[in-house]
Chain A
Amino acid sequence: MANSERVAKLASWLWWVVALLIYALPVIYFVIIVILVRAPDWPQAVFPEARVEVRPDWITTGLVIVLAIVVALPVLHMLIEMRSLFGNYRRGDILTESSARHILGIGRAILSLAVLKVVVPAIQLMLLTSGHVLSFSLNDNFIVFTLAGGFLVTIGWAMREAAELAEENRGFV
């Protein structure tokens, strides 16, 4: 099987998976948030650094939920970019400017996620503790997301270069 056929076949499957996730993920995320927030001691369950007596009002709870949704936005953006990329691949548009742009978009989304995963929990904890606790944690997820995002951004730039060369080559007989 030729490489382009293999890419088209796999991309076709992945397109469906990603298309399904685009609709399923927000619903799953919403359900998880609702289940978490309904528990009486949810601040302590989500943020072990929060003091036991923390009982957030509805405004604080709302803000914490909004921030949790903000973290999900790059994931959604990444899935949308992936769907477009796999759509291009299954049509056979591999070395094109459009595909390179989508790879770049996926990389940027993962980089944003790496940053938001550090910043947002710190802000949420600060809100829950009325500004008494500020805690940043850099874990292995941050390193993995940063490396993966940086890798994809680099690949995206390289693909853009390759797409320009391919476009130039298409003019040659």
Chain B
Amino acid sequence: MEIVVRLDVMLARRKMRSRELADLIGITEQNISLLKSGKVKGIRFETLAAICAALDCQPGDLLEAVAEASD
């Protein structure tokens, strides 16, 4: 099982740009990009709460647990 970040989907739904979100929640656009690509070890509750508040969504709308593809 792995956690996939669906931030890009929520951003598209809310018609918001990464830069706009970054400015709203006070983190860098580079970190938003890393988060979107899933290239982070984890996300702080503080950041998650700020993103949820900015995008008016629940953590479950941003994160999804999917089964890992077997080789």
Which residues from chain A sit less than 8 Å from chain B, CB to CB? Answer: 168, 171-173
Contact = CB atoms under 8 A, between A and B. Distances in A.
B57 interface: no
13 contacts: A168-B41, A171-B40, A172-B40, A172-B41, A172-B42, A172-B43, A172-B44, A173-B27, A173-B31, A173-B34, A173-B35, A173-B42, A173-B43
B58 interface: no
Q: For chain B, which range describes its interface: under 10, 10 to 19, 20 to 34, or 35 or more residues? A: 10 to 19
Nearest to A167: B41
Nearest to A168: B41
Contacts of A172: 40-44
B27 to A, nearest CB: 7
Contacts, number: 18
Contacts of B43: 172-173
Contacts of B47: 173
Nearest to B43: A173
B3 to A, nearest CB: 13
Nearest to B34: A173
Interface string B39-62: 011111001000000000000000
Given A172-B44, A173-B42, 11 more contacts: A171-B40, A171-B41, A171-B42, A172-B40, A172-B42, A172-B43, A173-B27, A173-B34, A173-B40, A173-B43, A173-B47
Which 4 pairs across A and B sit closest by C-beta, in order of nearness? Answer: A171-B41, A172-B42, A173-B31, A173-B40
A45 B43 CA distance: 68
